Structure 1
Amino acid sequence: MPEYSRYLALGDSQTEGLWDGDDTTGVRGWADRSAEHLAATNPVVAYANLAVRGLRAHQIRETQLDAALALKPDIATVVAGMYDLIRPSYDADAVTADLEVMFKALRESGAVVATCTFPDVGRIAPLAKPLRGRVIDLNERIRRLARQYDVHVLDAEPHAAVTDARIWASDRLHANSLGHQRIAAGMAEAVGLPGFDDAWTRPLPPAAPQRLHDRMIVETRWLAGFFGPWIVRRVRGRSSADGRVAKRPELAPVDVAPGFDTGLA
């Protein structure tokens, strides 16, 4: 197995690490955890994270790809498209083209590249079921590009465990800390890091049944607390990316967090 020494993460809020930590203490996320997995095999690995929340695929390509190539990674992760997919103006062909440009450029630079498919959002947030067809189509496009450019894929869509509400934050769009642990473990398996297998796909212990009344309360809170404000921002032409910069724009040594684990015990 190659001993990676320069890891670059490109993407949006999921790669930035939202809901795994906070903006006061610092967000962590699956990419930081992936860097720690790489550091376990090579302690001198350096890591940069160019991801910024709220960015669409073309914005990730325009603002992160050249910077990533300049840092000469030997391994890179690219996750993009979710912020496109949830918009009424979604253009599947445009997102595919942006992903292809990033995959092709990074692979031609000599980097190993990994990406992921997206889970069935309708099982995470029932009100998002109308987006299911888009998700399935985008995932197939990602798989096709991955085959074409020899990109490793964490294929989340087929596994029911990744739609368990207990690994998702209350906004239903981002993983929580447990979810980020599972994504990092899945990425480690995808690129063949030693000690990782399909444990990230295994179900959590059975949850207590939830009454219909309680489910309705959860859905109502989601509409009021997350979906409603998101619509307001769109109407006002605002984005969560406004004023944001990458949290880790330069390669730097990886500090393994205290109590670091894969979250799969």
Structure 2
Amino acid sequence: MRYERFVALGDSCTEGLDDLQPDGVYRGWADFTASVLAQGNPRFGYANLGVRGRRLDQITVEQIPSLESLRPDLVALFGGGNDLMSGGYSAAVLARRVDAAVRAATSAAPVVAVFTLSDISRRMPFGWRMGPRIEALNDAVRTSAARYGAVLVDVWADQAVHDSRYFGPDRLHLSTLGHLRLAGHLLSALDEPFPSSWLSPLPGQAAPASLADHVSWLRTQVLPVAYTRVRNRLIGRSPGDGFTPKRPELLPLQ
């Protein structure tokens, strides 16, 4: 299918963390997807409304209403990770948020793609708590995709989650290679051609992390994030407050 108006919705992964470019702008899976869809398509336009830290309920009220004016023929919605780490987590609340977001998005666009999460629990502090939450999110995404006719990009079983080369310094956000792989999964689900290398196994093996690596990760990545989340909760701020979408308008790719 020839898509001409592509809008990406979501959180930091949609924004493109940790695929940082020399100009200080994050790229990511949505940009890679747009670069493929734009080939030979002079009328193609792409908007990216993703903002770091956003939960699904925030995406529903802050980003999805823009679809009415943007009039996309393809929407990709990646979210839910911040809901899993929010205080007062509830599987029932999460399921309602997923349902509301997918229902609203599919009401505004003819084709909507939604994503499960791979099993990143082993990469997280207190991962034993996060594993069941990720499974609950994925179950809700699968149910809502079937209910509203969304395209399901199911990466739960992707073994690439165990290769550190697909992840950035915090071990959670995707590296450039990880974003390329996620774009490959999306384009495959849409039955669109893409470079086969995006889903090909990486050569060799990732170097194992040393004790010093783990200590550095805790000191420079985990503890600062934990401190910021606690501070924001105390003062009533959300992690993404003050940030705006990098591509709020449908624009052609350079």
The alignment's TM-score, normalised by the length of structure 2, stands at: 0.88
CA contact (8 A) 2:36 2:194 kept: no
For each residue in 1:58-84, what CA deviation from the matched residue of structure 2 results, as whole angstroms up to 9, or x when unmatched?
A: 111001111113211100011121111
Corresponding residue of 1:185? 184
Q: Which runs of 5+ in 1 are unaligned?
A: 256-265
- Summarize deviations over 1:20-70 as a string: whole Å, max 9, x none: 116962111111111111112634210111111111111110011111132
Asked if the contact 1:188/1:196 (under 8 Å) is kept, the reply is no
> Contact 1:16/1:51 (CA < 8 Å) preserved in 2?
yes
Match of 1:224 in 2: 223
- Aligned residue runs from structure 1 range 128-207, under 5 A: 128-195=127-194, 200=199, 202=201, 205-207=204-206
1:11 aligns with 2:10: yes
**What is the aligned-residue RMSD (CA, Å)?**
2.4
Q: Partners in 1 of 2:216 and 2:79 — Cα distance? A: 31
**Structure 2: which 5+ runs fail to align?**
none
Query: Residues 164 and 206 of structure 2 are in contact (CA less than 8 Å); yes or no, is this contact kept in structure 1?
Result: no
- Give the partner amino acid of 2:152: V
Paired position in structure 1 for 2:233? 234
The structural deviation recorded for 1:13 is 1.1
Alignment correspondent of 2:120: 121
Alignment match, 2:62: 63
Aligned to 1:261: none
SS of residue matched to 1:156: coil
Q: Note if contact 2:75-2:109 (Cα within 8 Å) is conserved in structure 1.
A: no
Q: 1:240 to 1:35 in 2, by over 3 A?
A: same
Deviation digits for residues 178-205 of structure 1, max 9, x if unmatched?
2111111111111110246696274653
Seen in structure 2, the aligned counterparts of structure 1 residues 46 and 162 have a Cα distance that, compared at 3 Å, is: same
Contact 1:124/1:164 (<8 A) preserved: no
Deviation at residue 221 of structure 1 after TM alignment: 4.1
- Find runs of 4+ consecutive structure 1 residues off by over 6 angstroms: none
Cα contact 1:189–1:198 (8 A) shared by 2: no
The amino acid that maps onto 1:21 is: L
Contact 1:49 1:247 in 2 (8 A): yes
Q: Distance in 2 between matches of 1:59 and 1:23?
A: 30
Task: Tell me the equivalent position of 1:82.
Answer: 81
How far residue 220 of structure 1 moved from its aligned partner, in angstroms, is 4.6
Per-residue CA deviations over 1:114-166 (Å, capped at 9, x if unaligned) read 11111212222253331110101110111111112221122111122124222
The one-letter code of the counterpart of 1:121 is I
Q: Which amino acid aligns with 1:230?
A: R
**Are the aligned partners of 2:75 and 2:113 in contact in 1 as well (CA < 8 Å)?**
yes
Query: Equivalent residue of 2:47, what SS?
Result: strand
Q: Distance in 1 between matches of 2:197 and 2:115?
A: 14
TM-score after normalising by structure 1? 0.85
Instruction: Tell whether 2:207 aligns with 1:208.
Output: yes
Is the contact between residue 67 and residue 108 of structure 2 (CA under 8 Å) also seen in structure 1?
no
Q: Which residue of 2 aligns with 1:45?
A: 44
Separation in 1, partners of 2:80, 2:24: 27
Taking the aligned partners of 2:26 and 2:12, their CA distance within structure 1 comes to: 10
SS in 1 for 2:7: strand
| Alpha-carbon distance change, 222 to 249 in structure 1, aligned in 2, over 3 angstroms | closer
Q: Within 5 Å, which residues of 2 pair with 1:89-100?
A: 89-100=88-99
